[in-house]
Structure 1
Amino acid sequence: MNVKKFIAGSSRDAWRQVREALGPDAVILSNRNIDDGVEILAMANEDMSSLVVPAMAKDAMPRPAVRRPPAQPAQPQAAAPRRVEHQGLGVESSAIEHSAAQAEARVWRTRNAARASAKEQQEAAQQQRPAQASSAPTASPQRPKQSPIMAEFDGKDYDEILSDVMTEIRSMRGVLETQLAEISWGGTQKREPAKAAIMREMLAAGFSASLSRLITENLPQNPKSQDAMFWVKSVLAKNLMTMANENELLEEGGVYALVGPTGVGKTTTTAKLAARCVMRHGPGKLALITTDGYRIGGYEQLRIYGKILGVMVHSVKDEADLRIALDELRGKHTVLIDTAGMGQRDQMVAEQAAMLSGAGTEIKRLLCLNATATGGTLNEVVSAYSGDGLAGCIITKLDEAATIGNVLDVVIRQKLNLYYVANGQRVPEDLHVANKLYLADRAFKLKRETAPFEFQDAELPVVVGPTATAMNDKSLREVILG
């Protein structure tokens, strides 16, 4: 038996090699995919015939009768060669018929043998299943040989495979949405240049591309430049939640804790709020507490502010000390707590929140947001410090920020109640009640120094394109338009 192997880059090339080497009647034994392409095992038809002939001999298949030419009457000698030629043709015809019969028999026997073999394998598998289940329940059955495509998923269950497929589909969807958004925005720039101008203004002011796109796409039809900017500012102001007046905090009183990352200005802001409370109710109605036992001079700084205001400053280390201090200061109208600064990724942020919530007294937390930080950083800060008891926020370092659209964007997205804005170090002058209309207008007036970082027309499609996925953000769906 002469079996030959053929390897080619594709099935068509492999079949062509088989046809050229073994002829059109070659028998294909197997084919499979390999790293280099396709592998085919084949043998010539004559070699296959040699395998089938012994089986035919066992079955004693009757051979077809050889047709002989009818007897011819006696003729002259001149006709003799003609009779011999006719007889020779008869013998050649019978040989052809005999070969055809053999070939047909080989085909049928090959098919019957294949069917019998498949049936025997199926019956054997059915008999082995109960025995394997009873004798070795933990033994893993032999797996059939996997194709190269399914080999990638070997060892994974259906849920993992489905998860991988869905991840790939989402990735492809994101790429398509991004490319389509770039193409669409490129056409919008040409058709509606006013929208492109508004988009550039909002990006230059520090607002995120997703919020800028949401507002820009909902602009009124054919607006003038001034009317469009007024509409944008009114939408931003409408989505800013601010304190109506100071009486909500100063007259109502209570326990307030200022929280936030290190260096955001919590101690200075606490001193500013303390000065306002003293001016309204006197030093006897106010108490100051600090939990900052980590920073050198943290307690001393607040103690100096308290000495100037005539207010006693208490230092606590843990939840038990805080509980005792709050019980002693229960008669105070307002209690302000200056907490230790911690990065938004510090595990102690959760411990600090647990200490404030477990003090036995309702403590309203005010988150200090640094106006000079990026939008992504501010979003992380809000996510880390948010939770039950977060009453609102205070924007600090407004005077140091080149743009304030980033912090306003986060306040709008997170639906935070904005109490105050701080724009300096003076106590208590540089603390103001938040005015939403003023902040929305100021956001577009602080971009004079950001010209080198503004986006050009050719860059806008690249910036807007990736926002296709971000447009499904829940915080954006809650933005009030119009």
Structure 2
Amino acid sequence: MNVKKFTAPTSREALRKVRESLGPDAVILSNRQSDGVVEILALANDDAASLAMPAPHSPMAEPAPSLDLGTTAVPAGRVEPRFEDELPHMSPPVTVKPASLPEQPQRRVVASHASFATKTAAAAATVVAPAAPAAKAAPAIDASQIAALVGAAVASAQESAAAEMSGVMHELRAMRGMMETQLAELSWGATQARAPHKTAVLREMLAAGFSASLSRYLIEKLPANRDAADSLRWIKTVLTRNLQTMANEDALIAQGGVFALVGPTGVGKTTSTAKLAARCVMRHGPDKLALITTDAYRIGAHEQLRIYGKILGVMVHSVKDEADLRIALKELKNKHTVLIDTVGVSQRDQMVAEQVSMLQGTDANVKRLLCLNATATQETLSEVVRAYQGSGLAGCIMTKLDEAAAIGNVLDVVIRHKLNLFYVSNGQRVPEDLHLADPAYLIDRAFKLKRDVVATQYQDAELPLLMSGAGGNTDSLREVHLG
């Protein structure tokens, strides 16, 4: 063995010397740096190969013995060599009793002995465990298991692809919405400069309480070559035409039937019931009318309607559930008109569905009239309509008209949800403050209530931004008749 030492200022230079002297296959034994010099000990490839091969006549060159943990017999005619004689520096072998080991397949142990090198190399022995006997063949996987594995892999890939596609579609929708908003803002900015009369009409509609979506829809449909006054008259005409009302009271008072007034708490259901009862008594007399209340929650609610009934000479019946209501309606089937005053329930309460189910579960055809508070916001009124809609509303009554600063909000909801407006209530007097809905009067009043603040409610720079987000949901406006 010929170990050589190479020194150089850098590792690159030292490796170059090793390659030039011993060739590209040289074996690097050590690499260290001292006193600013890199020192490498290297060995030629042929010398390194001789270290791994045992001497021709050494015991390590003999065939590897079979290690049988159960027996200690040695073949006759040959003396078993002892490793400790050849390797004096190794610890003596540890004797292991066969009984202390678990049963296992036999292994062949081959010890390779490397020649002792010079003072820089230490003696070593390498024990190599060759491959064990051939393992038993793995059980064959049947077709159903393969199909299950393939199906699971395909399902996982599809799920991953679906999740990725969902994320991409979400980003695309967000980009589309942003682009639509920006384009709409630019469009309305150009409209202000090109058609100032549209901006004036838009301010009027927004100040009257109409929604931005309905206002934008009608402004876009304005006929050309009209000034602000003519455009506003056209808007009023279209709104009047699309406000469905009851032409006369014969549809309710003369025909009769069972009517239930529904709506949230505090919208005036009991007072409106008393007003309708007074109209029925004036037309047909007290014997043709019956009053029913389901409000057993509020203190004095039953007594309030009983007082109205006493004044009108009409009996008031109180029911608690659907069974009581069914019995009461059977007893009152000979009455011309039956009015039901229901308990007020918030539009976000699950009791709304229970109340609708109770009214629809009777044998009688109960027509539901929704009371809409004119002082509520558009968002609140829309929630109320969606909650109480059920299988359909016969109509609605606008209450607290005298308390509202603007009524365009409630008229907007009635138009967009295609409700039939029966009455408007503008006070507490019974029965005077209940009137048939007049579409032209209501639309004209909506624009007159806020005329004094039209010019200051929205600035010119705010209108494009406001209208850019008003075109998202126009499905409910497609049935608006323009005439």
Question: Structure 1 residues 450, 381: CA separation in 2 closer, same or farther (over 3 Å shift)?
Answer: farther
The Cα of 1:155 is off from its aligned counterpart by 9.2
**2:275 maps to which of 272, 276, 299:** 272
Query: Following the alignment from structure 1 to structure 2, what is the Cα–Cα distance between the partners of residues 245 and 392?
Result: 14
Query: Following the alignment from structure 2 to structure 1, what is the Cα–Cα distance between the partners of residues 224 and 293?
Result: 54
The Cα of 1:469 is off from its aligned counterpart by 1.8
- Where 1:403 maps in the other structure, the secondary structure is coil
- Where 1:457 maps in the other structure, the secondary structure is coil
- Check whether the contact 1:372–1:397 (CA below 8 A) recurs between aligned residues: yes
- Check whether the contact 2:206–2:215 (CA below 8 A) recurs between aligned residues: yes
- Where 1:256 maps in the other structure, the secondary structure is strand
- Check whether the contact 1:177–1:468 (CA below 8 A) recurs between aligned residues: no
- Where 1:390 maps in the other structure, the secondary structure is coil
Which residue of 1 is the match for residue 402 of structure 2?
399
Task: Please state if 1:459 is matched with 2:457.
Answer: no
Query: Following the alignment from structure 2 to structure 1, what is the Cα–Cα distance between the partners of residues 284 and 384?
Result: 33
Question: Structure 1 residues 133, 243: CA separation in 2 closer, same or farther (over 3 Å shift)?
Answer: same
Which residue of 2 is the match for residue 76 of structure 1?
none
Written as runs of structure 1 = structure 2, the 5 A alignment for 1:15-164 is 131=141, 156-164=159-167
- What per-residue deviation string (whole Å, max 9, x for no partner) do you get for residues 140-176 of structure 1? 9999xxxxxxxxx999443333333222211211111
The Cα of 1:136 is off from its aligned counterpart by 7.3
Query: Following the alignment from structure 1 to structure 2, what is the Cα–Cα distance between the partners of residues 134 and 360?
Result: 58
**2:291 maps to which of 285, 288, 291:** 288
The Cα of 1:453 is off from its aligned counterpart by 7.1
- What per-residue deviation string (whole Å, max 9, x for no partner) do you get for residues 16-56 of structure 1? xxxxxx9xxxxxxxxxxxxxxxxxxxxxxxxxx969xxxxx
Query: Following the alignment from structure 1 to structure 2, what is the Cα–Cα distance between the partners of residues 327 and 264?
Result: 29
Question: Structure 1 residues 218, 451: CA separation in 2 closer, same or farther (over 3 Å shift)?
Answer: closer
- What per-residue deviation string (whole Å, max 9, x for no partner) do you get for residues 324-369 of structure 1? 1001101100000000000001000000011000111100000000
Which residue of 2 is the match for residue 63 of structure 1?
none
The Cα of 1:132 is off from its aligned counterpart by 8.9
Q: Which amino acid aligns with 1:276?
A: R
Q: Which amino acid aligns with 1:211?
A: L
Which residue of 2 is the match for residue 479 of structure 1?
480
Task: Please state if 1:377 is matched with 2:380.
Answer: yes
Which residue of 2 is the match for residue 332 of structure 1?
335
Query: Following the alignment from structure 1 to structure 2, what is the Cα–Cα distance between the partners of residues 344 and 158?
Result: 40
Which residue of 1 is the match for residue 308 of structure 2?
305
Query: Following the alignment from structure 1 to structure 2, what is the Cα–Cα distance between the partners of residues 253 and 262?
Result: 26
Which residue of 1 is the match for residue 360 of structure 2?
357
Query: Following the alignment from structure 1 to structure 2, what is the Cα–Cα distance between the partners of residues 453 and 193?
Result: 16
- Check whether the contact 1:243–1:433 (CA below 8 A) recurs between aligned residues: yes
Query: Following the alignment from structure 1 to structure 2, what is the Cα–Cα distance between the partners of residues 141 and 228?
Result: 65
**2:186 maps to which of 183, 187, 204:** 183
Query: Following the alignment from structure 2 to structure 1, what is the Cα–Cα distance between the partners of residues 302 and 351?
Result: 19
- Check whether the contact 1:204–1:453 (CA below 8 A) recurs between aligned residues: no
Which residue of 1 is the match for residue 419 of structure 2?
416
Query: Following the alignment from structure 1 to structure 2, what is the Cα–Cα distance between the partners of residues 135 and 316?
Result: 64
Q: Which amino acid aligns with 1:302?
A: L
Question: Structure 1 residues 329, 449: CA separation in 2 closer, same or farther (over 3 Å shift)?
Answer: farther
Gaps of 5+ in 1: 1-21, 23-48, 52-127, 144-152
The Cα of 1:458 is off from its aligned counterpart by 1.1
Task: Please state if 1:250 is matched with 2:275.
Answer: no
- Check whether the contact 2:198–2:228 (CA below 8 A) recurs between aligned residues: no
Q: Which amino acid aligns with 2:352?
A: V
Q: Which amino acid aligns with 2:233?
A: F
Task: Please state if 1:314 is matched with 2:317.
Answer: yes
Gaps of 5+ in 2: 1-11, 13-22, 26-137
Larger Rg: 2
Query: Following the alignment from structure 2 to structure 1, what is the Cα–Cα distance between the partners of residues 152 and 283?
Result: 84
Question: Structure 1 residues 134, 156: CA separation in 2 closer, same or farther (over 3 Å shift)?
Answer: closer
- Check whether the contact 1:284–1:311 (CA below 8 A) recurs between aligned residues: yes
Q: Which amino acid aligns with 2:408?
A: G
Query: Following the alignment from structure 1 to structure 2, what is the Cα–Cα distance between the partners of residues 427 and 413?
Result: 31
Question: Structure 1 residues 348, 422: CA separation in 2 closer, same or farther (over 3 Å shift)?
Answer: same
Query: Following the alignment from structure 1 to structure 2, what is the Cα–Cα distance between the partners of residues 434 and 337?
Result: 22
- Where 2:406 maps in the other structure, the secondary structure is coil
- Where 2:415 maps in the other structure, the secondary structure is helix
Which residue of 1 is the match for residue 208 of structure 2?
205
The Cα of 1:307 is off from its aligned counterpart by 0.6
Question: Structure 1 residues 182, 135: CA separation in 2 closer, same or farther (over 3 Å shift)?
Answer: closer
Question: Structure 1 residues 468, 295: CA separation in 2 closer, same or farther (over 3 Å shift)?
Answer: same
- What per-residue deviation string (whole Å, max 9, x for no partner) do you get for residues 152-204 of structure 1? x9994433333332222112111110110001100100110000000000000
The Cα of 1:131 is off from its aligned counterpart by 5.0
- Check whether the contact 1:363–1:389 (CA below 8 A) recurs between aligned residues: no
The Cα of 1:283 is off from its aligned counterpart by 0.5
- What per-residue deviation string (whole Å, max 9, x for no partner) do you get for residues 300-342 of structure 1? 1101111111101000000000001001101100000000000
- Check whether the contact 1:402–1:450 (CA below 8 A) recurs between aligned residues: no
Identity level (%):
66
The Cα of 1:218 is off from its aligned counterpart by 1.1
Query: Following the alignment from structure 1 to structure 2, what is the Cα–Cα distance between the partners of residues 314 and 341?
Result: 18
4+ aligned runs moved over 4 Å, structure 1: 130-143, 448-453
Query: Following the alignment from structure 1 to structure 2, what is the Cα–Cα distance between the partners of residues 158 and 364?
Result: 51
- Check whether the contact 2:395–2:420 (CA below 8 A) recurs between aligned residues: yes
Query: Following the alignment from structure 1 to structure 2, what is the Cα–Cα distance between the partners of residues 469 and 447?
Result: 27
- What per-residue deviation string (whole Å, max 9, x for no partner) do you get for residues 248-271 of structure 1? 101000000000000000000000
- Check whether the contact 1:178–1:467 (CA below 8 A) recurs between aligned residues: no
Query: Following the alignment from structure 2 to structure 1, what is the Cα–Cα distance between the partners of residues 217 and 24?
Result: 78
TM-score by length of 1: 0.68
Query: Following the alignment from structure 1 to structure 2, what is the Cα–Cα distance between the partners of residues 50 and 340?
Result: 98
Query: Following the alignment from structure 2 to structure 1, what is the Cα–Cα distance between the partners of residues 354 and 453?
Result: 39
- What per-residue deviation string (whole Å, max 9, x for no partner) do you get for residues 45-93 of structure 1? xxxx969xxxxxxxxxxxxxxxxxxxxxxxxxxxxxxxxxxxxxxxxxx
Query: Following the alignment from structure 2 to structure 1, what is the Cα–Cα distance between the partners of residues 215 and 360?
Result: 37
The Cα of 1:478 is off from its aligned counterpart by 1.2
* Two-structure CA RMSD over aligned residues (Å): 2.9
